Structure 1
Amino acid sequence: MTLLAVELKESTKLIHAEAGRSKFMKYFFKGEVTPQTYGQFLVSLYQVYDALEKALEDHRDNAQLALIYFPEELSRKKPLEEDLEFFNGPEWRQLLTPISPAQQKYIDTIHACSTSLHPERLIAHSYVRYLGDLSGGQVLAKRLQKYNNLPEDKGVSFYHFALIEDTDQFKEMFRKRLNQVEVEDEVRKMIVEEAMEAFLRNIEIFEEFDSQLEGLPLTKREQQQHLAILAKEKAELAAAKIQEKESQKQDVASNNNTSAGFLAFLSPSNLWNSLQGAVRYPVEQRAEHVDA
């Protein structure tokens, strides 16, 4: 039989990649998630960990869950509270209500596991959240600090596990504990399916912030691409202008009487002005907001 840790990794590989391709994560890595949006994202994380850590504590005597239950080393609520206050101020708890649809769905999913005949399904949620935080946390913390000029060790408590000296060793131990879980095949299948469900819940959390990511400033690369397109279109219009002038020189004045008005409308200067306004303005308007 495949080891549980391996089965969890292989079974969630595709949806894990989908989560990484979410708009929120892409903008996070580019440093284009504002401190205000990130502060709201922390609220969603707090709702998730509040539900998860309460459920794990309720079942701390479950022999299978006890294998991967490390409340002192892994608990994220206190670090999240520090970050929430940093980004949202001392009144951050007021942001916990109303609960958003994605937050509520995630909470309900965890609650359903906790109150089911097989609370071992919570193993999946512990695996997805905690191993994910341990694996990518340091990279995300550096991105957050770099792009927001945060004071050292401020606003990134969530990504720091003070009681874990070696994250790689801890993750390896956690995976070994996963492989020691002894459940019936049916429950094992439930755990694997629940892990995929957990990734889906995380993607839905990300998607709630999509509307806040619209219209963000263009990156330097995107600006260069737009300016290159504009330069190409200007060159094509200039070539058309020269060709039109040459054509007009060859026209016989007596044959142009009936088409004078129409040709005036299509004259190079009018064409240039109208097309230049249509093509250049939206690009240059967006380029004005590009970060240096």
Structure 2
Amino acid sequence: MTVTDLPATPTVSLSAAMREGSMAEHQEAEDSRFMTELLGGRVNETGYAEYLLRLRGVYEVMETTLGARLDDPMVAAVHDSALERLDAIDADLAHWAPGGTRTVDSPAATAYRERVSAAGEWGGLLVAHHYTRYLGDLSGGQAIGRIIDRTFELDGAGTAFYTFPEIPKPKTYKDAYRARLDGLGLSPEEVGRVVDEVKVAFRLNQALFTELGQNIDGYRR
């Protein structure tokens, strides 16, 4: 099967299909060398700023593309300005790279941005990227934020990316988000297309980490 390796039946909800159908790609991204070093507290300030710069470009395109498609019922179902991260990343970069550029020469980030922009052709594809990024920020991203804060003894400085002032209870929010996904009423074929794009999104994330990992020795603390 080329889509999800899951049976395309009405008993599989969209949120479950997205989660279960992309588990291998998700795990591979988490196991990348750069992410392993970051979670181990072994990436220095330069390496972390390079990571943020790549994410900045992705979120800039994501939030612009989403904003242009709010008339699509699928996009409207998940869009929430409380999730947007671009301003938070800029605030963090002011801490990690004050006065520095807000762009980076990154083939992996460019490929990611282009894929997100192309996803604007159908709302389900944008939902796949929205889910992968923002639910990740509310899940594993919270652990990364705590590790960064502890590693650099920041006391909250430079970690706005992981802070969601308007979402005090991430679990409750994520449960409601998944319920909205499940209420979209997609056909099995459409579910398969969304899951395929989630898998692509995780591979694009892994490509970012692989690119960063190529300079891991220069990023060591």
Query: TM-score normalized by structure 2?
Result: 0.91
2:123 to 102, 119, 123: 119
- Higher relative helix content: 1
How far off is 1:10 after superposition? 0.5
How far off is 1:216 after superposition? 7.4
Aligned partner of 2:6 in structure 1 is none
Counterpart Cα distance in 2 of 1:26 and 1:201: 17
Counterpart Cα distance in 1 of 2:86 and 2:192: 29
Aligned partner of 2:86 in structure 1 is 77
Aligned partner of 1:12 in structure 2 is 22
Q: Contact 1:137/1:160 (CA < 8 Å) preserved in 2?
A: no
Equivalent position SS for 2:139: helix
Note if 1:64 corresponds to 2:74: yes
Aligned partner of 1:87 in structure 2 is 96
Counterpart Cα distance in 2 of 1:149 and 1:92: 25
Q: 5+ residue gaps in structure 2?
A: 1-9
The letter for the 2-side match of 1:54 is T
Residues 232-288 of structure 1 show CA distances to partners (whole Å, capped at 9, x for unaligned) of xxxxxxxxxxxxxxxxxxxxxxxxxxxxxxxxxxxxxxxxxxxxxxxxxxxxxxxxx
How far off is 1:128 after superposition? 0.5
Rg: which structure is higher? 1
Which consecutive aligned stretches of 4+ in structure 1 deviate over 2 angstroms post-superposition?
90-93, 182-188, 214-217
Q: Contact 2:75/2:127 (CA < 8 Å) preserved in 1?
A: yes
Equivalent position SS for 1:126: helix
Counterpart Cα distance in 2 of 1:180 and 1:204: 32
Equivalent position SS for 1:67: helix
Aligned partner of 1:44 in structure 2 is 54
Inter-CA distance 216–55: structure 2 relative to 1 (3 Å threshold) = closer
Query: TM-score normalized by structure 1?
Result: 0.69
2:198 to 191, 195, 209: 195
Residues 87-139 of structure 1 show CA distances to partners (whole Å, capped at 9, x for unaligned) of 0003333xx04x4110110011111111x2x2321100011000111012221
How many residues get paired?
A: 211
Q: 5+ residue gaps in structure 1?
A: 218-290
2:114 to 108, 118, 130: 108
**What is the root-mean-square deviation of aligned Cα atoms in Å?**
1.6
Aligned partner of 1:29 in structure 2 is 39
Q: Contact 2:17/2:191 (CA < 8 Å) preserved in 1?
A: no
How far off is 1:48 after superposition? 0.6
Counterpart Cα distance in 1 of 2:75 and 2:190: 13
Q: Contact 2:112/2:204 (CA < 8 Å) preserved in 1?
A: yes
Counterpart Cα distance in 1 of 2:219 and 2:64: 37
Q: Contact 2:128/2:194 (CA < 8 Å) preserved in 1?
A: yes
